[in-house]
Structure 1
């Protein structure tokens, strides 16, 4: 009996020691805490939203990311990140600029200066979009339409692209108003226009503007000179009845919340892109941009466009 009890106690003691050993081994095998951040890039503590306005937000975001990715690669402070951000309309843009959510804004000059009337913005760069620094608007008609001047448009209709387009609405419309003529917007092409005013309609895009002129749904159309040359290959049936002055093709503006050191380095990166194979490749992919540079006569440009915007508001 004693022998049996001793054997039983030995088994219990052995089992107990085995559990303790396993427990110690289990503790030793637990991974010790590791600072994983040391193996990663620095956290992005300064995220700047680089915004524009566009109907196709996915496509516009992908396009804008071409530029922001390049900026992120070349900015010296790796805690800074430029992120593409696209809003559907100008009202949303203004609200998010006011709230401080958006920091950089890329757009055509009329829209940028219109927004700058409400939110403090500084223009820091000009973009040579599709290879040009400046462009102008043309108002055109069919040669056999009897519309040979802006005066001839009284009682007729002119087609603009959309409400916020610089070259296909705001610029040509302000030019027409500067000539002492009156424009009344019509919701549809079949709405009658009185004999003393010019009616206007939105076509949706420049291609439609050309098509509507050809089909005589409208008597004249307006768009920039680049679009006119591209969309109308055979100009034998068309004539230009008015031409505006040149304005910058595209601008980058910044809010007053961004540190000047960041702005200066960003300008340096943008302005030097055309000097490297990598930069040239990115510019080409970014809607065939030729370069970024400084708008030297920015004060004068701003004053002229703001004056035109006042005419539009009357």
Structure 2
């Protein structure tokens, strides 16, 4: 397992003393590009640490997979995680993390998973994707992998992973490719007709960076999922209750503090943190049921 701390440190998971660990708030994040995300996470870690009594240091630990993050939480190395619903549910189930708050990432409290196709494809429904190829994002992504896989399986598709866009799709199957990098790669693969469809979020569709106009004019939306809570804040279950209570208060109050404004903006253009409303909790339950119903997601996870 490769765990990263930025800036790089020889003592990645070590502390000088138990007291130093007790005085450190550690934020965790799952990514294949830790350097890119560190500049967004570190200011938040330092801000939160500066607002908490008894906490002197803010730290960021990165893992490449949800399974690695589960290990970090279980072993007391990570205190706080900001994650999408699919990954958050895995951390709740496997690492006993507690749901704390709702994060308005990129200014939104929720978003949707989309399946897009080329305008010339003639496809009208999910059934038309049988025997075709779809481009998906990294396996830890709720909107570009987990949701579309579960949605397609519920619609009667039998999925098989392909290694190349030109790989043949076996009879009775629907092929998918996993791509790394930004969501622009997904839009490009469909716009250039390398694959028949792609999946990502409505925010990616609306972003000129992820879906340039030259691509969008070639594309259409085949399917849009129900609303998904944008991002969830989770705390380590064994984190002392006074710290969890203080963290909740600090995060909720950030929208009212001028000194927190640049931190929120850098932290994925976060508008605010809210208590989880009943609507969001109901959405989480429904999404969890959908994801858990997918035999493909279960088998893929077991083979990792």
Normalised by the size of structure 2, how large is the TM-score? 0.83
> What's the RMSD between the two structures over aligned residues?
1.9
Are the aligned partners of 1:114 and 1:309 in contact in 2 as well (CA < 8 Å)? no
1:57 aligns with 2:16: no
Are the aligned partners of 1:126 and 1:248 in contact in 2 as well (CA < 8 Å)? yes
Deviations 1:163-196 (A, max 9, x none): 1111111112211122222222112212111342
Give the secondary structure class of the aligned counterpart of 1:145.
Answer: coil
> More deviation in 48-57 or 226-235?
226-235
Question: How many pairs were matched up?
Answer: 272
Q: What's the CA shift for 1:45?
A: 3.8
Q: Select 1:304's aligned residue among 286, 289, 303.
A: 286
Instruction: Spell out the pairing of 1:127-276 with structure 2 (5 A cutoff).
Output: 127-204=103-180, 205-230=182-207, 231-233=211-213, 235-276=216-257
Are the aligned partners of 1:111 and 1:164 in contact in 2 as well (CA < 8 Å)? yes
Gapped regions of structure 2 (runs ≥ 5): 1-18, 297-304
Tell me the residue number matched to 2:13. none
Provide closer, same or farther for how the CA distance between residues 178 and 155 of structure 1 changes in structure 2, counting only shifts above 3 A: same
Deviations 1:194-241 (A, max 9, x none): 342211101223111111112211001111001011114253332111
Give the secondary structure class of the aligned counterpart of 1:256.
Answer: coil
Gapped regions of structure 1 (runs ≥ 5): 1-41
More helix by share: 1
Q: What's the CA shift for 1:157?
A: 0.3
Instruction: Spell out the pairing of 1:282-297 with structure 2 (5 A cutoff).
Output: 282-297=263-278
Tell me the residue number matched to 2:302. none
Are the aligned partners of 1:147 and 1:153 in contact in 2 as well (CA < 8 Å)? yes
> More deviation in 266-275 or 52-61?
52-61
CA distance in 1, matches of 2:93, 2:148: 21
Tell me the residue number matched to 1:114. 90
CA distance in 1, matches of 2:89, 2:158: 24
Are the aligned partners of 1:160 and 1:202 in contact in 2 as well (CA < 8 Å)? yes
Give the secondary structure class of the aligned counterpart of 1:125.
Answer: strand
Provide closer, same or farther for how the CA distance between residues 180 and 264 of structure 1 changes in structure 2, counting only shifts above 3 A: same
Q: Which runs of 4+ in 1 moved over 4 A?
A: none
Greater Rg over alpha carbons, structure: 1
1:313 aligns with 2:295: yes
Give the secondary structure class of the aligned counterpart of 1:269.
Answer: helix
Normalised by the size of structure 1, how large is the TM-score? 0.81
